[in-house]
């Protein structure tokens, strides 16, 4: 299984980025997908989750209303649209996958992890 995250970069506060995560080696539509992030010196934290059909999503309070998670099962890809970015959103963002149909919010619930993509928001 491979999860390849992309789309990170440097953006000014208030700007937007869209992260993508292309999955291979698994039956993508059978997996709940998640996004986590890790800032320097901090623990990895939950950002967003989306169920196999996209019918259910969940967000961390810190990103609710600004970030949107979506997926395209035909392309084996999950997305994270990030708007109104803040300096505190600066982190390495990881996509992750778990076989099953329910949303998941904890790192321990996920099986497969991508390599991460750096997002830096300047003030």
Per residue in 37-48, pLDDT (tens digit) is: 999 999 999 999
The closest alpha carbon to 120, from 30, 51, 47, 37, belongs to 37
Residue 66, pLDDT > 90, answer yes
- For the segment 71-79, the average pLDDT, to the nearest whole number, is 98
**pLDDT at position 99, please?**
96
Residue that the structure tokens 């099986």 belong to:
111
- For the segment 7-19, the average pLDDT, to the nearest whole number, is 98
What distance in Å separates the CA atoms of residue 110 and residue 24, rounded to the nearest whole number?
Answer: 16
Residue 54, pLDDT > 90, answer no
The closest alpha carbon to 25, from 92, 76, 98, 84, belongs to 76
10 and 32 in contact (C-beta within 8 Å)?
no
31 and 102 in contact (C-beta within 8 Å)?
no
> What is the average pLDDT score of the chain?
97
What distance in Å separates the CA atoms of residue 63 and residue 110, rounded to the nearest whole number?
Answer: 20
On the 0-12 / 13-18 / 19+ scale of CB atoms within 10 A, 2 is exposed
């Amino acid at each position: 299984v491979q999860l390849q995250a992309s789309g990170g970069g440097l953006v000014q506060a208030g700007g937007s980025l869209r992260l993508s995560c292309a999955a291979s080696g698994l039956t993508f539509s059978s997996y709940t997908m998640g996004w986590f992030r890790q800032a320097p010196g901090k623990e990895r934290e939950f950002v967003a989750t989306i169920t196999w059909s996209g019918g259910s999503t969940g967000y961390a309070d810190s990103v609710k209303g600004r970030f949107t998670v979506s997926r395209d099962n035909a392309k084996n890809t999950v997305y994270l649209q990030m708007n109104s970015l803040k300096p505190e959103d600066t982190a390495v963002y990881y996509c992750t996958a778990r076989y099953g149909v329910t949303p998941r919010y904890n790192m321990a619930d996920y099986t497969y992890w991508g390599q991460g993509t750096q997002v830096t928001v300047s003030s």
